[in-house]
A and B are shown apart, each in its own frame.
Chain A
Amino acid sequence: MVREIRQAILFNLVTLLLLGGLYPLVLWGVGAVAFPAQAEGSLVRRPDGTAIGSRLIAQPFERMEYFRPRPSAVGFNAAGSGGSNLGPSNPDLVKEVAERLAAVRAREGEDAGPVPSELVTASGSGLDPHIPPAAAALQAARVAKARGAPIERVSALIEEHTEPPLLGFLGRPRVDVLELNLALDTAFGPPR
C-alpha cells in the first residue's frame, strides 16, 4: 500500500508538470509565433494602441448610427458570460421577447418587415458577435438615415461583411457587428 501511495503521488506530480505546464507552454509558443493576434484575443485597437474591443466579442451599441448586436442576458459582460437560461415555456421569456420586439419595431419602423428572432432572443454566451444578414438588412434604413448616408452604400457594406457558411453549408451566414460598425465609421466618419 505504501508503494501504491508513493507511485500515485510521484506519477501525479510528474504528469502535473508535463500536462499542466509543458503542454500549454508548447501551444502558447505556437500561438505567440504563428498566430499572435488570435492568441491575444483578436483585439481591435485604435491607432494609439488602446483596445476598442475584440472582433470575436459583442459589445453594446445604443446609438442610432450603429447596427445593434443580439440582446445579451449578461449585459455584454465579457468577464462573466452566459445565457438567460430561461426555459422555452417560461412566461418571463415571452415577456422579454415581446418587449424587445416592440422596441425593434419602434426603432426600425413598423413597416420594416419581419424581425429575425436573433434580434430579440439572448445568445448562449451573451457575447455573440454576429447577427444574420437579414437582421442587418432590417437595420440598414435606420442607420443610413441617422448618418445621412445613401442606403445603397450601407447595404453594400453589409454585403461586404457577410461571411458565408464554411464550405457553403457549415454554420450560418453572419455579419460581425463590430466590424460592420467600424466600416461605417471608416466610410462615413464617426458619429458626432
Chain B
Amino acid sequence: MGLEWVAIAFTIFVTIVTSVPIGRYIHKVFAGKRTFLDPIVAPLEGLVLRFSGVDARREQTWKQYALSLLVANVFMWLFAFLLLSAQRLLPLNPDRIGAMEPTLAFNTAASFTTNTDLQHYGGETGLSTLSQLFVVGFLQFVTAATGVAAGIAAMRALAGDRLERVGHFYLDLIRATLRVFLPLALVVGVVLLWQGVPMTCGGAVRARTLEGGEQTIARGAVASVVAIKQLGTNGGGYFASNSAHPYENPTPLTNLVETWALAVIPMAMVWALGHFTGRRRLASMLFAVLLAIYLPMVVFAARQETAGNPALAAAGAGLDQSTGSMEGKEVRFGAGLSALWAVTTTATSNGSVNGMHDSLTPLGGLIALCGMWLNALFGGVGVGFLNLLVFLVVAVFVAGMMIGRTPEFLGKKIEAKEMKLASLAMLWHPLAVLVGTAVACHVWTTAASHGHALAWLKNSGPHGFSEMLYEFTSAAANNGSGFEGLGDDTPFWNIATGLVMILSRYIPIIAPLALAGTLAAKPRAPQTAGTLNVEGATFGFTLWAVILILGLLMFMPVAVLGPIAERLAAG
C-alpha cells in the first residue's frame, strides 16, 4: 500500500517538473522565437501554409481568428463524417469492417472534431485501420492544436495593451501541431513501441491457444494513435477498453509515460501564460491553486479505490481485497495508479482510461465527475486555460466587489460586457449536463412506465442514474470517458451527445476568446497601491473558493442523487 503512494507522488512530481521547460518552450514557439527544431520544422511549416494559401503575416482580430477556427473545424468534421461513412469501400481495411451507421458516424465525427473522443463504437470492430489513422489519428492532432491555438490567442490578448490583432489561426495551428505535438508524439510513440504497443498494418491474428482453442487477436496501428491520444487530451483509444488494454498500455513504464502525457501539456500551458504576460508569479499562484484542488482529489480517490469494495464482503469468506477494488482494473497498474489515472484523465479533459470507470467505487466515481464538472483543473490543452480564465474573471469581480473597487485584471477593467461573456461560458456547462441528464431520465422513465425499460442501463438504482449523468457530463466537458455500461450506441444518445459535444466545444471557446478580445482592446491602467493584487495568497484563496463553490454547487443535487446515494445505500 505504501509503495502505491510513492508511485503516485513520483508520477505527479515528474509531470510537474517537466511541465516547466515545456511551458517555456511553448511560449517560445508561439512568440515566434527560434527553437532547436527550426531547421527541420520551419520549411515544412512554410510548405503547408503556402499550399493552403494562407498569408500568415497578416495577423487576425479575435473575430477573424474565431471565424478561421470554426470554418477549419467544420471541414474537419465533414472529412471525418465522409471517411467513416465510406470506410467499407476504402483501402486499409484488413478486417473488412463495414460502414458506420449515420447517427453513429455523426456522433463519432463530432466527438473527434471537438477533441472529446467519446466512443459509441468498439475500436476493434467499428473502425478500419484507415479510419483509425486518417480520422482518429489526424483529428487527435489538429483538434488538440485548435485548443492550444485558442488558448494562446487569449494569452496574447491578455498580455496586450490596446491590442487589436491576436495572431494568425493557421500559423498557430500548424505550429502547435508540428512543433509541440508531433515531436512529443514521436518520442512517446517510440517508447510505447519498445514496451510492446503494436504498430502493424496486418489485421487480426488467429491463434490456436495452448489448450487448443481459437483466439482472434485484434491488432493494428496502435502506437501512433495512443501517443497522440494521450498528449492532445483526446482520449479516444484504439481498442474498446482503451489504455486498460494490454496492447495500448502493456507495462508500468507505459503507464507512467501515458499518465505523464495526459497532464504535461495542460500543466505547461499555465507556465506559458506566465511567460506571455511576463508575470511568472501569477502563473505560480494559478498552478498552486489548481494543485490545491487536484491533489486532494487524487488522495481521496486513491484511498477509495485501494480500500476495496465493501459490498463484496457479502460474496463469501476468505476473499482478500488487500490490493484494493480490482473489478475493472488491471494487475500491472494496481488500484492506486488506476485511481491517479481516473482523476487525471477527468481533470484534464482527456478521457482515456486504464480501468473501467463504471466499476469505480461510488466516491471514486464522484471525483471523476467533479473533475469534469470543474473542467479547468489544468483542463484540456488550451481550452482548460480558457475555462480557468472565466473563473479568474469571476473571482476578480467577486474580490473587487468585496473590497469595494472597480474589478481589474492585469490592469484591465472588468465591466458588464466581460461579465456577461464569462457568465455565458460558466452557465452553459451545467445547463448542458443537467438538461441533458433530465431529458435522458424522462425518456428512460416514460419507456419504463410502458412496461419495457430501454436496455440502456447496465446497473439499476442510483448507479444507473450515474451512468446517464456521467455520459452527459463527459460530452459537455469534451472529456470522452464513460460509464461504459451505458448502451449508448442508439440514435437518442448519438444525436443528443453529438449536439452537446459541439455546443460545449465552441461556446466555451468563442465566449472566452471574445472576453479576451475585448480586454485586449482596453488600455492598461497603471498599477497603484489600490490595485487588486492577483498574485498573492489572498486572491489565490478567493480563486480556489470561487472555482469550488461556483463550479460544483450547481451539481450538488445530481451528485446526491447518484454517487452519494449509492455510497449511503452501501452503508
Contact = CB atoms under 8 A, between A and B. Distances in A.
Interface stretch (B158-166, B182-190, B283-291, B372-380): B182-190
B499 interface: no
Contacts of A82: 122, 240-241, 356, 484
Contacts of A169: 3-4, 6-7, 10
B470 to A, nearest CB: 11
Contacts of B219: 40-41
Nearest to B218: A79
Contact of B193 (A5, A19, A30, A93): A30
Nearest to B353: A124
A31 interface: yes
Interface residues of B, number: 125
B311 interface: yes
Contacts of A126: 241
A102 B317 CA distance: 10
Contact of A85 (B319, B354, B359): B359
Contacts of A117: 308, 312, 319-321, 323, 325-326
A77 B217 CA distance: 8
B359 A88 contact: yes
Given A61-B210, A123-B329, A87 B194 contact: no
A185 B212 CA distance: 14
Contacts of A125: 239, 241, 244-246, 330
A57 interface: yes
Contacts of A23: 137, 141, 182, 185-186, 224
Chain A interface size, under 10 / 10 to 19 / 20 to 34 / 35 or more: 35 or more
Interface of A: 3-12, 14-16, 18-21, 23-24, 26-28, 30-31, 34-35, 38-43, 50-54, 56-57, 59-63, 66, 70, 76-90, 93-94, 97-98, 101-102, 105, 113-118, 120-132, 134, 165-166, 168-172, 174, 178, 181-182, 185
Given A24-B221, A85-B356, A129-B246, 11 more contacts: A11-B174, A16-B79, A30-B189, A38-B194, A82-B484, A87-B458, A88-B325, A116-B323, A124-B355, A124-B359, A130-B331
23 contacts: A3-B53, A5-B75, A6-B53, A8-B75, A12-B72, A12-B142, A21-B134, A23-B182, A23-B186, A24-B137, A27-B189, A30-B189, A31-B223, A56-B246, A76-B215, A87-B458, A94-B315, A120-B319, A122-B328, A125-B245, A127-B241, A166-B252, A172-B332
Interface of B: 3-4, 6-7, 10-11, 48, 51-54, 67-68, 71-72, 74-76, 79, 122, 124-125, 133-135, 137-138, 141-142, 170, 173-174, 177, 182, 185-186, 189-190, 193-202, 204-211, 213, 215-219, 221, 223-224, 227, 239-241, 244-247, 250-253, 255-256, 308-309, 311-312, 314-316, 318-321, 323, 325-334, 337-338, 353-356, 358-362, 458-463, 466, 483-485, 566, 569-570
